[in-house]
Structures are given as C-alpha cells and as structure tokens.
Amino acid sequence: MAGRLVLAATPMGEVDDASPRLRAALGSADVVAAEDTRRTKALASALGVTITGRVVSFYDQVETSRAPGLVADVAAGRTVLLVTDAGMPSVSDPGYRLVAACVAEDLPVTCLPGPSAVTTALALSALPVERFCFDGFPPRKSGPRKAWLETLRTEARACVFFEAPHRLDACLADAVEVLGPERRAAVCRELTKTYEEVRRGTLGELAEWAAEGVRGEITVVLEGATVRAADPDDLVADVERLVGEGARLKDACALVATDGVSKRELYEAVLAARRES
C-alpha cells in the first residue's frame, strides 16, 4: 500500500479541540514526526491514545537532516504523521521542507485541518479581514523591523503576525512610529487557553498597554491601510518633470500612470493644468 505524509493540526491549548481524525492518526501512523516528542506524547495521553508507531523528533534544527529519512519512509509505504507543538505544521513551524521533498518525489501529501492561531486571531480581531496576509515573526531588531513595517504602510490587506511577548512592546512602539498611533490592531494572547485575552484598539493604545509587560503566546492582527483613490492631478508634476528632462508627453504619461490612473486620464490632466497656468 502506498505511503503518505499527513500534516495534522494540534490544539493550541484546549485538548478537546483535537479532531477525531487527529486521534485516529496518532494511534495508527507508522511514524510520528513531532516538533517536541514529549509534548506530543503528553497530548496523546490526554486524548487517551496509544502511539504505536515510531516517534521521531522533527524541529527546526534537524528538519533538513531528518527529511530524507522520512521521505524514504513514505516511499516505502509507511504513513508519516507530522505534528508540531500547536497549530498547523509548516506555518511558521517545521514542515515546509518535508512537504516540498515529498512533492518532489511525487509522494502523497494530505492534511488533517484544525486549530490555527492565524484564522482564530482574524476571527476575533473585529477588524475587516476579508483579505489578509501573514508575515510570520517580525525582525527582532528595531532597524529591520521598522523597514518591515514600512512595507505595511500602504498594505490594504489586514496583516497577521506572531511576536514574542518580551518584544511586543518594542514592536508596537515601532509600529506607532512608522504607521502612526491611529492605525487599529488587535493583540490576541493565549488563544483558546485558560487566560485567553484579546486587546483591541489603536496602535497608540496597544503600545501603551504592552509597555507594562505581556506574557504568553502572542498573535497580532493589524488593520489594512486605507488606500486613497488615485488622483490624476497629483501626478501631473511627475509628468512635467519627465517632459522637462526631454521625454515626449505621451511617453511621460505612460511611465507615470498607475493602476488607478490611466495614461489617457493623466494626459488630459496635464493638458488641463497647462491651460490653467
């Protein structure tokens, strides 16, 4: 029988969030690759499941070296179950390299869906999240972190990211500096756990709150930027600068035109501005 790699989401805190399919997989897989073998065995025990397969550790530092052996297990017809400490494997957790290696060998890969801090935080944020992006963990140092935040200045989608509790205050302070104090966000702490907390407010309010110190697993949802409709009149000066440098008017309009302003609209705006001057 053909083997397969099974990615399985594990509870973030509440054991009862484990799906029946996860319970069955833990008890039947030939190999269980776990980010932390002790936590996985404790989860199985809490679920009343006996792991009968081989248990191997599979964390960031050994992912590259362990992947070939697990690919060989799948190729030999074994079922390899991949679990991380909480949530979905390969989403800011080990798993991507193993999935890619199995796909490269044309081996079956499937998923047992379940808990996810990303989608849980989005649902609880009370922000518009019809469109969103996920950015993992921000850079640890302020300079690179501000550069990353700068990329979100005009990002219209909501942005979800994780942050270490001891860096949350500095991250939010940088966000206030780069994005302004009025941008809205939600800080979700200890999702699904006993002390779950969701703080909603402006970046200024949240930075002030976080300055007192925060503990636990943190997921942040940042409101998307409000994108102002493009105005052709705002681009006229750029066109005239290119014309002054020797470009033909039509060519300059083609270079300056954006998704929100067509070449024709811009051309007419330039002519109107010249008539008024």
pLDDT at 259: 66
pLDDT at 277: 79
271, part of any domain: yes
125, part of any domain: yes
202, part of any domain: yes
135, part of any domain: yes
Backbone angles phi, psi at 173, to 5 degrees: -65, -40
- Whether 126 and 217 map to the same domain: the answer is yes
pLDDT at 231: 83
pLDDT at 91: 87
Please name the amino acid found at residue 139: P
The mean pLDDT value for 147-163 works out to 95
pLDDT at 126: 97
- Whether 214 and 252 map to the same domain: the answer is no
- Whether 59 and 102 map to the same domain: the answer is yes
* Chain centroid offset of residue 62 CA: 23
The mean pLDDT value for 231-258 works out to 92
Taking the model in full, what pTM does it have? 0.78
- Whether 123 and 97 map to the same domain: the answer is no
- pLDDT confidence tier of residue 154, bands split at 50, 70 and 90: confident
- Whether 56 and 141 map to the same domain: the answer is no
Give 111 or 259, the one with higher predicted confidence. Answer: 111
**CATH number of the domain residue 161 falls in:** 3.30.950.10
Position 258 pLDDT exceeds 90: no
**CATH number of the domain residue 25 falls in:** 3.40.1010.10
Number of domains in the chain: 3
The mean pLDDT value for 101-107 works out to 96
pLDDT (tens digit, 9 = 90+) per residue, 19-53?
A: 999 999 999 999 999 999 999 999 999 999 999 99
- Whether 27 and 77 map to the same domain: the answer is yes
- Whether 29 and 51 map to the same domain: the answer is yes
Q: Is there a contact between 147 and 122 (Cβ–Cβ < 8 Å)?
A: no
The mean pLDDT value for 156-184 works out to 97
pLDDT (tens digit, 9 = 90+) per residue, 201-226?
A: 999 999 999 999 999 999 999 999 98
**238 to 106, 242, 248, 252: CA distances (angstroms):** 52, 7, 13, 8
61, part of any domain: yes
How high is the mean pLDDT of the chain? 95
Tokens found for residue 240: 């005239």
Position 249 pLDDT exceeds 80: yes
Q: Is there a contact between 194 and 263 (Cβ–Cβ < 8 Å)?
A: no
Nearest to 218 by CA among 195, 237, 240, 201: 195
- pLDDT confidence tier of residue 2, bands split at 50, 70 and 90: confident
Position 129 pLDDT exceeds 60: yes
pLDDT at 226: 83
Parent domain of 271: 232-276
Beta strands 132-134; 158-163: pairing state: parallel
- Whether 96 and 9 map to the same domain: the answer is yes
- Whether 156 and 203 map to the same domain: the answer is yes
227, part of any domain: no
- pLDDT confidence tier of residue 229, bands split at 50, 70 and 90: low
- Whether 107 and 123 map to the same domain: the answer is no
- Whether 10 and 111 map to the same domain: the answer is yes
217, part of any domain: yes
Of 57-66, 185-194, 227-236, which range is least confident?
Answer: 227-236
265, part of any domain: yes
- Whether 28 and 59 map to the same domain: the answer is yes
